[in-house]
Structure 1
Amino acid sequence: MVRGRYAPSPTGDLHLGNLRTALLAWLFARREQGQFVLRVEDLDQPRVRASATQSMLNDLRWLGLDWDEGPGVGGPYAPYTQSERLEIYEIYLKRLQNADLVYPCYCSRAEIVHAASAPQQGAEDGPRYPGTCRYLTTRERSQRERMRRPSLRLRVPDESEVAFTDLVMGPMTQHVQQAVGDFIIRRSDSIFAYQFAVVVDDALMQINQVVRGADLLSSTARQILLFQLLGFPIPTFAHVPLILDATGKRLSKRDGSTGLAPLRAAGQTPQHIIGQLATSCSLQPNGTLLTPHQLLAVFSQHRYGIMRTE
């Protein structure tokens, strides 16, 4: 059975781009008569906004999107909130440490940027980590630890080419060591990195279909590598296009992109919003009013590739 999920972060109100991704993730799972899981990704506590979780749940319910497992529903793989899963992450971090796949890194972001010199190191996720701390001796580590608390990096194998076929974007290949280098799995402030936590959660929650925004496509090879190193099954991936503003910039909670509140205040109904989101990915003509379940009947007749463009 297909098990899909939507995993928002409570750092602000869900904007239309977030909601379209939620809708598409729901459609992908329901199309296959699958289960849909909601998970709250609140590990980055300094960025979490009070009451944002409840606001997100309310918005999703108001639109007519339901979930089989998650907050307010429960399920066999609870808890479904990342901040309540820290002990679980420690178990799988220890597994990687026992395999000598983790080492402490004392480099600051500025030092890594300064060390990066090759043109390909200016990737969208930042410069490739050059491996500065990978071969430090015990004495060198002890000296550096007096000055800075380390992050923990995954020792990415030299042979780390990952190939997968995205359901929307098509065939993808990335050599993780060449493109990214050894990447952080726990930050220096002890917060587990997104790349690590999301893999553990998806695996333990039996998620086998990941539908999310195209901005996360570059993370997928790293996550597949972690699935492999931890001995987990690898889900299928579908990265859907983002909604852009009038300037061509993607919507962002950080920039205060519009959520549902002003639209509801202006008299928009859930059917209006679902219709607009369906129009934005070419599933319905402009002005159509419908519920998620009505859209599901339409979505079931389409191929995923229609969403490659706005």
Structure 2
Amino acid sequence: MKMEIRVRYAPSPTGYLHIGGARTAVFNYLFAKHHNGKFIVRIEDTDLERNIADGISSQLDNLRWLGLEIDETIDHEGKYGPYQQTKRLDIYRSHADKLIADKHAYHCFCTNEALDKMKAEQQKVGIFSFQYDGRCAKLSPAEVKKNLADKVSFAIRLKTPKNKIFTINDMVREEVSFNTKDIGDFVIIKSNGVATYNFAVVIDDYLMKITHVLRGEEHLSNTPKQLLIYDYFNWQAPRYGHLTLIISETGKKLSKRDGSLMQFIEQYRNQGYLSEALFNFISLLGWSSHQEREIYTKSELIKIFNSDYFSKAPSMFDVRKLLWMNNYYIKNLTQEQYLNLVVPFVKSEHDWESKDEQWWQELLLIYQKQLMYGAEINELISLFFENKPPLTKEAQDFLQTNPDASKKVLDDFKAKLATTDDWSLQEIENIIQQVKADTKITGKMLFMTIRIACSRQTHGPELAKTIKLLGKEQVLTRLTDLKL
């Protein structure tokens, strides 16, 4: 019988869904669905002091917003739950006790002060990567029994053999080998009774029948510790794939502390980015279809997602590419979908009741082709709500290229507008054509001059529609105020 592919994304609720975490989740999701497998979300919440109140709900909400259907998680249980580590502490402890019984682990009664002294002594001789010296492994059974009876605080450490080699066939990096000589006896159950990451993740992955683990390359150093635990239990380890770094345009690894770049899914969501665009963009951060295209639907990605195409080089978070991609998806929204995207942003800054519904719709729709993200709409429509918008430098420079021609166009345009009682789109287009015929001025000098006079900008949506929406009084005021 063919093995069922089971993968997991296991966030810690110490923060919100980061781009790096979202990439890990998307890749695991696509890999699972490509193989008709299961995508599991397990909450690794054992870092009790750093967990935030809405960390779990935010992670799940944003994963689902991205379009990831979760097969098993805390609010959609399967048969391998609980899917939250703080509800599995007894499971970890029972497995740790088995390792103790099998002489693979032991109680460590060292105080923090003793450990600090040990670290300081190692640093004096140039050892800065701390390794426990194994002193508690040498305690006699009677000494251990007495300490336990006296309720002396303890952790549980795993015995680590020297110079044991583990080799994996990594899905990204191919063959990778690890030597246990640099690990030392590490803690698997802390003194507060909570399992450490490396121990809990192995127990969970095995009991939840996880077959493949795709995760960031920062976890590569954890792999030998986890493989040792698998080895002691005589369990089959999953197939690993360590995804390459995501770097900024400066070539540096994305840092959550870098405020110059939005790095959390919630931020993009709040700014009016589309989930389909983000899913598409994230799916290409470290993976390529080897096709000459960038736009893929989720179903297309599921069909073609192949682990043979993982990148071995860091992937760049290209903001301009994301904006281009989001604009592509916005342009392809239906009118109703587009208005549902932008109207809430407009209502947050403008009095919706000040204009009729038809005017608002006409205004917003003229920007659909150029809008990069939802929140940008208020910046784009600002020219319709400023009494005296300033000229951009580009506009000033253009008007100075031929001031006589500009004045000729604007004088004729203003005179014709002032005498018309018809403020329809067709009439405005007719007037522009009459100015063209009367002045013999055409092309950029005609159209950009009129655009600058009305909007104070050199570029924008369809000119006649812009003039119509501004209204006759506002346009005539701006024509009068413009001094050449």
Normalised-by-shorter TM-score class: 0.7 to 0.9
Alignment partner of 1:50 is 2:56: no
CA apart distance, 1:242: 2.8
Task: Give the conservation status (yes or no) of the 8 Å contact 1:243–1:251.
Answer: no
Distance 1:136 1:13, change over 3 A: same
Separation (CA, whole Å) in 1 of partners of 2:246 and 2:152: 40
List aligned pairs for 1:41-190, cutoff 5 A. 41-105=44-108, 106=110, 108=112, 110-116=116-122, 121-122=127-128, 126-137=129-140, 139=143, 149-158=153-162, 160-176=164-180, 178-190=181-193
C-alpha distance after superposition, 1:128-172 (max 9, x if no partner): 333243324555996899997332110123463211111111211
Alignment partner of 1:272 is 2:283: no
List aligned pairs for 1:205-284, cutoff 5 A. 205-245=208-248, 246=250, 248-252=252-256, 258-283=263-288
Distance 1:117 1:14, change over 3 A: same
Separation (CA, whole Å) in 2 of partners of 1:173 and 1:118: 30
Higher helix share: 2
Separation (CA, whole Å) in 2 of partners of 1:62 and 1:95: 41
Separation (CA, whole Å) in 2 of partners of 1:213 and 1:51: 24
Separation (CA, whole Å) in 2 of partners of 1:235 and 1:282: 21
Alignment partner of 1:20 is 2:10: no
Separation (CA, whole Å) in 2 of partners of 1:11 and 1:254: 18
Which secondary structure state, in structure 1, belongs to the residue aligned with residue 69 of structure 2? coil
Letter in 2 for 1:75: G
The unaligned stretches of length 5 or more in structure 2 are: 316-484
Percent of residue pairs bearing the same amino acid type: 30
Distance 1:283 1:120, change over 3 A: farther
Moved more, 141-150 or 235-244: 141-150
Distance 1:152 1:11, change over 3 A: same
The unaligned stretches of length 5 or more in structure 1 are: none
The answer for the alignment partner of 2:482 in structure 1 is: none
CA apart distance, 1:38: 1.2
Which secondary structure state, in structure 2, belongs to the residue aligned with residue 47 of structure 1? coil
Moved more, 285-294 or 18-27: 285-294
The answer for the alignment partner of 2:380 in structure 1 is: none
CA apart distance, 1:29: 1.8
Alignment partner of 1:192 is 2:195: yes
Separation (CA, whole Å) in 2 of partners of 1:262 and 1:294: 26
Which secondary structure state, in structure 2, belongs to the residue aligned with residue 134 of structure 1? helix
Distance 1:121 1:234, change over 3 A: farther
CA apart distance, 1:254: 11
Report the structure number with the largest CA radius of gyration: 2
Alignment partner of 1:306 is 2:305: no
Distance 1:55 1:289, change over 3 A: farther
The number of aligned residues is 305
Task: Give the conservation status (yes or no) of the 8 Å contact 2:157–2:186.
Answer: yes
The normalised TM-score by structure 1 is: 0.86
Separation (CA, whole Å) in 2 of partners of 1:75 and 1:143: 41
Distance 1:200 1:276, change over 3 A: same
Separation (CA, whole Å) in 1 of partners of 2:182 and 2:220: 14
Alignment partner of 1:39 is 2:42: yes
Separation (CA, whole Å) in 2 of partners of 1:276 and 1:52: 24
Task: Give the conservation status (yes or no) of the 8 Å contact 1:276–1:286.
Answer: no
CA apart distance, 1:307: 4.6
Distance 1:287 1:163, change over 3 A: closer
Moved more, 244-253 or 98-107: 244-253
